[in-house]
Structure 1
């Protein structure tokens, strides 16, 4: 039986992959291709598709170089020769919940403070959060910073039904992104992820030079597992699944090929490029299935809320509440 502890369930940190020799689906050729550019990028993908792992990979690459990338494509194919940078990594999903005890602006400030502290900076506490943020990056030399923002939209989606709170958060984000744009020369690379793009909130109109690669065919497989990746990195686990399923059923129902067909039927079919050239599997569903194949083809992504269209649900609820 293959080692089930090597399946990277609930692991998003690139360093954790390396430290624990977990299975890492190597997309560092795409990472290197994207990271060579100096304009800001935005990537939209559903939850549990690997956005946070991707952001963590950028973080490791820009902050520490190639030390942890040995035997990956970015090294074996000699795809990277850049220096290291100060990296500010912000995960807005950490402050999406609304609490009376601590207003959002306070949580926003503390998150920025923590992110900059981790990068070796200190944000002054005697100014408002955006002014302090501007002062901090304003003293840096041009092209010396990297900014990584994961799940930027999580705090907005969480309060979609609260018009006042949503507007307050939207205004803060708009000011924040306007500041980033004003100091864009300070950044070597900016990468932002989210589930959706709030095009009508002025966030991206304030930061209007960002390139949206969400449906760019060149990056259609940047997250998720392709068929080739599935069979290359998880072949032993797929063969084990055939054995486990047949034992559970008490008959030789599944072969390797019929298992692949069943996986395609249940977990494949996602395409994130405008030409539909590429299809990918949902990683969360695949990893859970491979860990417990005897449970069958359960809707793991749906059961954990990954497939729930929170933005649409919250938007519709704003109308239901008015009835």
Structure 2
């Protein structure tokens, strides 16, 4: 059996790359079309390496270029889309999360906006500060002609949780930024925001009294990640090849298609994000890494690459321990018998 590993989209997040290189694209464009019909801001929270950036990129392609690269997918086959194209402002805040002494965060924010505007064929206004530049640039556009996509909005905040002063400065700037987005909401046809978590009590989203949080909505429980049906539909040949590869390496014949499925479920399934626990999904990073090198076995790829590291929790505990709680007390809190 010959397997084309170049079709596995490992480390690929751009929808355009999927289409141009004929990579395996797990088709969720029916959900994309359903979400894209809304005109109020939408927020989705998911862990790292679960497919948020690919989802954002799919929206980017759809709104900026239409259906040209969606042929053969549900959105075209089922005639789910008939909208026009828009200027898409796509901001990935993970690009500026690190704290650097030589450049203030606000300057990095401005340069990121400038780059995002340029890609949308917008010239950023030369203003006294980043918020004014954003506001004036948006104000010059006609109503309903823009789309705003924000990926990893919380990355710059999580990165500096241990630095109270820097965290507060970034929080205040983000709060002002999102308030400005709200005040210019008539300019946007669609607003979509992702993050690992939703910070509460920071007033960042307080301006959005109409934001639609789909993080726990069963309708979108499988909008990222691979369902069991998707795993078997899109990766059947690779799963069969994995059985052969492991049999060859271990000089056995115990590995079958069914056994590989069982081990994939044991190792990489079990994630459910919706309030009804209706959907269970596999972590794409782990699945793609295993299928690309099955002879290495069922390794914890997501954990090994930091995808599963709960940065928010770790940073919070580092600032919390020994200020309000002693480390010895924390051990007690984590002891099941103590909790009982």
TM-score, length of structure 2 as denominator length: 0.94
Q: How does 1:92-103 map to 2 (within 5 A)?
A: 92-103=93-104
* 1:266-285 superposed matches below 5 A: 266-285=267-286
Contact kept, 8 Å, 2:88 with 2:120, in 1: the verdict is yes
Inter-partner Cα distance in structure 2 for 1:81 and 1:138: 27
CA offsets, 1:53-109, max 9 Å, x none?
A: 000000000000000000011001111000000100000000000000111010001
Check conservation: 2:41, 2:208, Cα contact below 8 A.
no
Map of 1:14-93 to 2, 5 A cutoff?
14-93=15-94
Per-residue deviation, residues 4-39 of structure 1 (Å, max 9, x unmatched):
111000100001111111110000000001101111
Shift of 1:187: 0.6
- In 2, Cα distance between equivalents of 1:257 and 1:68: 34
Asked if the contact 1:199/1:205 (under 8 Å) is kept, the reply is no
Q: Distance in 2 between matches of 1:102 and 1:278?
A: 44
* Alignment RMSD: 0.9
Return the offset for 1:321: 6.5
State the shift of 1:206 in Å.
Answer: 2.4
SS state of the match for residue 17, structure 1? helix
| Unpaired runs of at least 5, structure 1 | none
Does residue 150 (structure 1) correspond to residue 151 (structure 2)? The answer is yes
Give distance in 2, aligned partners of 1:184 and 1:272. 29
- Residues 120-269 of structure 1 aligned to structure 2 (within 5 Å): 120-269=121-270
Residue equivalent to 1:289: 290
Equivalent position of 1:11 in the other structure: 12
Q: TM-score, normalised by structure 1?
A: 0.98
Moved over 4 A (4+): none
Structure 2 CA distance for aligned equivalents of residues 288 and 170 of structure 1:
36
Deviation at 1:128, TM superposition (A): 1.0
Write the distance in 1 (CA, Å) between the matches of 2:56 and 2:167.
26
Distance, in Å, in 1 between the alignment partners of 2:23 and 2:71 is 14
Distance 1:181 1:173 in 2: 12
1:318 is paired with a residue whose SS is helix
CA distance in 2, matches of 1:82, 1:187: 14
- 3-state SS, counterpart of residue 273 of structure 1: coil
Bigger mean CA offset, 126-135 vs 4-13: 126-135
Matched, 1:111 2:100: no
Count matched residues.
323
Aligned residues of 2:94 and 2:153 also touching (Cα < 8 A): yes
